[in-house]
Amino acid sequence: MKYQLIALSPIHIGNGNQISNWSYSVDNSKISIYNFEKVVSILKNDPRKLMNLTADIERNPLNKSLGDILKNYRLNVKPEYTVQLRGNIKKQRWDRNRRQNLTEYKQIWEFIKENGKVYIPGTEIKGAIRTALFYKILKDKSKEDQNLKDQFLREYEKCLHIKNYKDDRDKKKKIQSNFKRFSSRWENFVFRGDFNSTDAKRDILKILLVSDSNLKDPEDVLIVKDILALGVSRHFEEPHEIAKKESKFTIDIRIPFKKEYKQILPVTFSYLGMKKLREACSEFALSIIEAEIEYFYKTNELRPEEKSEILEILEKRKNLAKVSPERNWIILRLGKHQGFLSTTINLLVKELNPELYSKAYREIVPVARHTPNKSRKITIDNELLGWCILIPQE
């Protein structure tokens, strides 16, 4: 079935690359992205200018941008695309040797593209559904089976027991390593029916097929915005290419079930009916939103009016998550800045055993804060990230 994906908030899905200052130019509130190789090819017949460009980059790796070169050399190069810019494309850095602040251009985290076009990967959507199902299935099984619940919490607590470590940083690293193995075991149990299974053929998600979205021109859906980190000791702002709120894409979701799957897959395959899938995504979204409301209610890093604006958005999103199953909608959170362990296992432990959750928090975060342990990322204009809704198309 085809679905229309509508961004409820800005979304960043990265390809792991950053756009260098030697690949963009800035003009007031707009930023143009260039193919640096094309600029070099234009200069190949002018060795002197090409040498000057090379020298400029070596002398000013971050103090200039491609825009300065285009202007100084009077080059007319067509950009790949031009989008709006919100935030500061430059930053101040203290230079100890010169004993002064230097102004440098930032690198931009790039949105994933195919042949220069923006899209939402099917793997990203499927991954978000997988996370919601993991939460829902494990929560249901914990309610049904007290022994399983006790085992889950016991193994979680065991992750905190570290005997040999150099310092707090080393201890935290080893705890996180334990949690990684712990989450893998329970993923295997939920999706493959066996804690130690490595057989991908038994994974219930193999019968969930999600296509990549259609391709969009960057100028139609992208904007470059600074993303701020809250709840960390050192604040920073990083520019990202993000799909704008209300951007629309089309995807296809299919579950081609066959009778023989009953003999191959674990019993949890029953959660792959579209009705249960919608309910799982809704329930997981509500848990995330409740945690977000708690965080932003307690944080003192925002002005009162900013907090009120964010909390109002979260309340509306909570109402949307509640009604989405009955309207045949799927609500998801996608993209960068979403953590599997912290938004799934820790949410569940917090519900099942708040004291154990608090104990884990104290072990992982040496300096206690008055807000929950997970940092948050928002855009420079206080927009939350990653939320979308999938609406079936008749």
Tens-digit pLDDT profile for residues 155-186: 999 999 998 898 988 998 999 899 989 999 99
- pLDDT at residue 340, as a whole number: 59
Contacts of 96 by beta carbon, 8 Å cutoff, 6+ apart: none
211: tokens are 């296509």
252 shares a domain with 193: yes
359 shares a domain with 268: yes
231 pLDDT higher than 80: no
Return the half-sphere exposure (C-beta side, CA atoms, 13 A cut-off) of residue 63. Answer: 10
pLDDT band at 234 (very low <50, low <70, confident <90, very high): low
Most confidently predicted of 206-220, 258-272, 292-306: 206-220
Residue 92 covered by a domain: no
pLDDT band at 367 (very low <50, low <70, confident <90, very high): very low
302 shares a domain with 387: yes
166 shares a domain with 50: no
One-letter identity of residue 255: I
Residue 45 covered by a domain: yes
Handedness of CA 145, 146, 149, 154 (dihedral sign): negative
137 shares a domain with 32: no
212 shares a domain with 124: yes
371 pLDDT higher than 50: no
Residue numbers of the domain that contains 143: 2-9+119-216+245-392
Residue 154 covered by a domain: yes
Percent of the chain with pLDDT over 90: 67
- pLDDT at residue 281, as a whole number: 97
One-letter identity of residue 118: V
pLDDT band at 365 (very low <50, low <70, confident <90, very high): low
Residue 263 covered by a domain: yes
- pLDDT at residue 263, as a whole number: 77
pLDDT digits (tens, 9 = 90+) for 303-320: 999 999 999 999 999 999
Domain count, the chain: 2
320 shares a domain with 376: yes
pLDDT band at 257 (very low <50, low <70, confident <90, very high): confident
125 shares a domain with 70: no
